[in-house]
Chains A and B, each alone.
Chain A
Amino acid sequence: MIRHLPALLVIVPLLTALTVSALSWVAPRLCLPLTFGCIGASLASSIGILVEVIKSGPVVYTMGGWSAPVGIVYVIDYLSAPVLVVVTAVALINLIASSKQIDRDFSDKKGTFYTLYILFVTGMVGIVATGDAFNLYVLLEIAALTGYSLIGIGHERAPLSSLNYLFIGTIGASFYLLGVGYLYIATGSLNMADLARFMAMPEHGTSTMVMFAFIICMTGLFIKMGLFPLHGWLPNAYSYASPASSALVAPLTTKVMIYAMIRVGLYVFTPAYVFGRLQVGGAMVWIAVAAIVFGSLLALAQKSLFKMLTYIVIAEVGYMVGGFFLGNRMGITGSALHIINDAAMTLCLFLAAGAITYRTKSDDFKDLKGLFHQMPFTMTAFTVGALAVIGVPPTCGFFSKWYLIIGGIQAGHYGYAAALIFSSLVNAVLFFRIFETAYFDQPGDGKGHHHGHHKHHKHKNKMVEAPVSMIVPLMITALGLIALGIYTGDIVTHVIQAAIPGGIA
């Protein structure tokens, strides 16, 4: 049983998705418990695999007993095991938090929603677990297609934003596929470990075809992760989607794509090629700097909460891409650590924003007045998430940013270090502006007739907290941000250091 866990991680949700879809016709009440059980089991098995990996090294599973270059293998190593836990944990927490929202917004489409939800998790888990370059493409599309649907199922402008996302996302995935095609022509293999072995041969190290494959593969992944200036699809897709979908898609898609970039960079094209021969690092870090600066500045220009958060996501993508292309141990450590931390931070902020819009029906800044009094628990969790994004210790955001800045300085890339500090300052401005509105302004201010006739101060500040099923997961996430910060040392020494191949200084 334990031996088959890597395969079960993908197969169980896939079959459960079908079951849920069928159940929605006969017993719609059972959809949620089944989804919950399935994702809970996935989380439990990911944790089991993580423990196994820490204890006795990477787990390799050969599908159907066909061994490596011919068959498809699933490889859970030090890099993928923690990301697996993050993916399943985010999915589970968001499922609990959004069940009320799903009931309210999609009462007639609940079965469909849960089916898509599980399929999305299947795709994400598969991307993380697979050790085959083409298999990664297929799972990428499974995750992407369900992602489009989860976004498009929303109301108002959601379908239009989702269709635009679909166009851009398809171009991105197709580019990745094209890159894999050229790599296959050059080497004749699709297995990642096998490809890395071929890359060590001098004829592939100098081949133009391999260089083209690298460029086009990476461009595809950059489009998928929304790296500036390829981010156009991201803000609308994530801000017009239902909060139940965006709190799942926003923390996972970009982060898992960055995982895929690190996987392809380190374990397919190998560091010796990417950082040694191609010398693309410097240019890529400057693009990342642009992403950080523009993401932060555009976030500053927004007037609503979700839009602002989406631009923060774009800036964070810049952090991780820059950290990876610094090409030193510190930078890549920071980048990998930030995948975990940023998924948790984004989840926390999106859940809080979801809880706010669940009550206020609006995420416009002017409707956030007095929220600290009305929704104290939500706003406390929001504050923790905001502090993590700003990078205040002991929240986890501080530690990954620390590794990234040290990496930038070690690599002599001061522009990158400066961009990180600049972005932290902008984030501080962004969030303290919200805190000010939400703490000091009264809900009635400037809105006139809505609350104007309530003379009593007390009445205005009545608590209208979100339902318990939203608050508890949100609080767990907020505490998780602090716990991740406190245990950073352990995560880095036991897991992430082992994930980075030797030879990177």
Chain B
Amino acid sequence: MEQIFTAMGAKYNYVAYIILMMVGLYAMIVKSNLVKKIIGMSIFQTSIILFYVSTAYKTGKTIPIVPYDAHAAVQAADFINPLPHVLMLTAIVVSVATLGVALALAMKIYRQYGTLEEDDIHEDLRSEEGKS
């Protein structure tokens, strides 16, 4: 048991991303308000961005910019890995686009049903089906 806690302490970035991910998933599954679900989705996506960026970090190393007056060969081990950051720039763009599409759909749903509560919408749909 103690070993597990030490391991978790040493790799707390993974614990943090898993917690964030579960928060997001919880909101997406449990919440009935569509905007809250969308917020959950955003948290979920952000947790993965955090995961990527945190894996790039090296303790005590610096940002990957080669000094102007550097003459020795550049050692990759001396710098934080820039690639995950670059990948996450793309992922952030993707998550912003997802958020945009989700909010647009939510607006359309609100105009249609006059509510964003999923339970109310389903009740609405059921009564409609009953009528027809």
Q: Which residues of A contact B (CB under 8 A)?
A: 134, 137-138, 141, 145, 148-149, 152, 157, 159-160, 162-163, 166-167, 170-171, 174, 177-178, 181, 184-185
Contact at B45–A138, with CB atoms within 8 Å?
no
Residues of A within 8 A of B34 (CB): 163
Among A167, A171, A181, point to the contact of B51 (Cβ < 8 A). A181
Among A145, A149, A159, A171, point to the contact of B28 (Cβ < 8 A). A171
Once A145-B98, A167-B37 are accepted as A-B contacts, the answer to whether A174 and B105 lie under 8 Å apart by CB is no
B30 CB → nearest A CB, Å: 13
Q: A141-B98, A184-B83 are in contact. List 7 more A-B contacts (CB 8 A).
A: A148-B101, A149-B101, A163-B109, A170-B98, A174-B44, A174-B45, A178-B51
- Does chain A have a CB within 8 A of B8? no
Q: How far is the CA of A109 from the CA of B68 in the complex (A)?
A: 54
Contact at B41–A167, with CB atoms within 8 Å?
yes
Once A141-B98, A149-B101 are accepted as A-B contacts, the answer to whether A171 and B87 lie under 8 Å apart by CB is no
Q: How far is the CA of A396 from the CA of B57 in the complex (A)?
A: 53
Contact at A141–B97, with CB atoms within 8 Å?
yes
Contact at B109–A160, with CB atoms within 8 Å?
yes
Residues of A within 8 A of B22 (CB): none
A105 CB → nearest B CB, Å: 15
Contact at B52–A141, with CB atoms within 8 Å?
no
B75-132 with Cβ < 8 A to chain A = 83-84, 87, 90-91, 94, 97-98, 101-102, 104-106, 108-109, 112, 121, 125
Contact at A166–B51, with CB atoms within 8 Å?
no
28 interchain pairs, CB-CB under 8 A = A134-B87, A134-B90, A138-B94, A141-B94, A141-B97, A145-B97, A148-B101, A149-B104, A152-B104, A152-B108, A159-B105, A159-B108, A159-B109, A160-B109, A160-B121, A162-B105, A163-B109, A167-B102, A170-B41, A170-B45, A171-B28, A174-B45, A178-B48, A178-B51, A181-B48, A181-B55, A181-B84, A184-B55
Residues of A within 8 A of B101 (CB): 145, 148-149, 152, 166
Contact at A152–B105, with CB atoms within 8 Å?
yes
Once A141-B94, A148-B101 are accepted as A-B contacts, the answer to whether A181 and B109 lie under 8 Å apart by CB is no
Contact at B45–A163, with CB atoms within 8 Å?
no
Contact at A159–B112, with CB atoms within 8 Å?
yes
Among A138, A157, A178, point to the contact of B90 (Cβ < 8 A). A138
* CB nearest to A166 among chain B residues: B102
Residues of A within 8 A of B97 (CB): 141, 145
B131 CB → nearest A CB, Å: 14
Contact at A174–B48, with CB atoms within 8 Å?
yes
A170 CB → nearest B CB, Å: 6
Q: Number of contacts between A and B (CB, 8 Å)?
A: 66
Contact at B102–A163, with CB atoms within 8 Å?
yes
* CB nearest to B40 among chain A residues: A167
Contact at B105–A167, with CB atoms within 8 Å?
no
Q: How far is the CA of A152 from the CA of B121 in the complex (A)?
A: 16
Number of interface residues, chain B, beta carbon within 8 A: 29
Residues of A within 8 A of B28 (CB): 167, 171
* CB nearest to A135 among chain B residues: B90
Q: How far is the CA of A162 from the CA of B107 in the complex (A)?
A: 13
* CB nearest to A157 among chain B residues: B125
* CB nearest to A165 among chain B residues: B105
B103 CB → nearest A CB, Å: 10
Q: How far is the CA of A467 from the CA of B84 in the complex (A)?
A: 52
Residues of A within 8 A of B55 (CB): 181, 184-185
Q: How far is the CA of A171 from the CA of B121 in the complex (A)?
A: 23
Contact at A170–B105, with CB atoms within 8 Å?
no
Q: How far is the CA of A303 from the CA of B112 in the complex (A)?
A: 25
Q: How far is the CA of A162 from the CA of B106 in the complex (A)?
A: 10
Residues of A within 8 A of B104 (CB): 149, 152
Residues of B within 8 A of A149 (CB): 101, 104
A167 CB → nearest B CB, Å: 6
* CB nearest to B28 among chain A residues: A167
Residues of B within 8 A of A163 (CB): 34, 102, 105-106, 109
Among A137, A138, A166, point to the contact of B105 (Cβ < 8 A). A166
What are the 6 closest A-B residue pairs judged by CB atoms, nearest first? A159-B108, A163-B105, A141-B94, A152-B105, A159-B109, A159-B105
Q: How far is the CA of A148 from the CA of B125 in the complex (A)?
A: 21
Residues of A within 8 A of B121 (CB): 160
Residues of B within 8 A of A170 (CB): 41, 44-45, 98
A380 CB → nearest B CB, Å: 32
* CB nearest to B107 among chain A residues: A159
B119 CB → nearest A CB, Å: 13
Residues of A within 8 A of B112 (CB): 159-160
Q: How far is the CA of A141 from the CA of B95 in the complex (A)?
A: 9
B25 CB → nearest A CB, Å: 8
Q: How far is the CA of A170 from the CA of B112 in the complex (A)?
A: 24
Residues of B within 8 A of A178 (CB): 48, 51
Q: How far is the CA of A38 from the CA of B15 in the complex (A)?
A: 48
Residues of A within 8 A of B105 (CB): 148, 152, 159, 162-163, 166
* CB nearest to A151 among chain B residues: B105
Once A167-B37, A170-B45, A174-B45 are accepted as A-B contacts, the answer to whether A184 and B98 lie under 8 Å apart by CB is no
B99 CB → nearest A CB, Å: 10
A119 CB → nearest B CB, Å: 11
Contact at A177–B41, with CB atoms within 8 Å?
no
Residues of A within 8 A of B41 (CB): 166-167, 170
* CB nearest to B108 among chain A residues: A159
B39 CB → nearest A CB, Å: 12
Q: How far is the CA of A174 from the CA of B106 in the complex (A)?
A: 21
B31-60 with Cβ < 8 A to chain A = 34, 37, 41, 44-45, 48, 51-52, 55
Q: How far is the CA of A177 from the CA of B44 in the complex (A)?
A: 12
A177 CB → nearest B CB, Å: 6
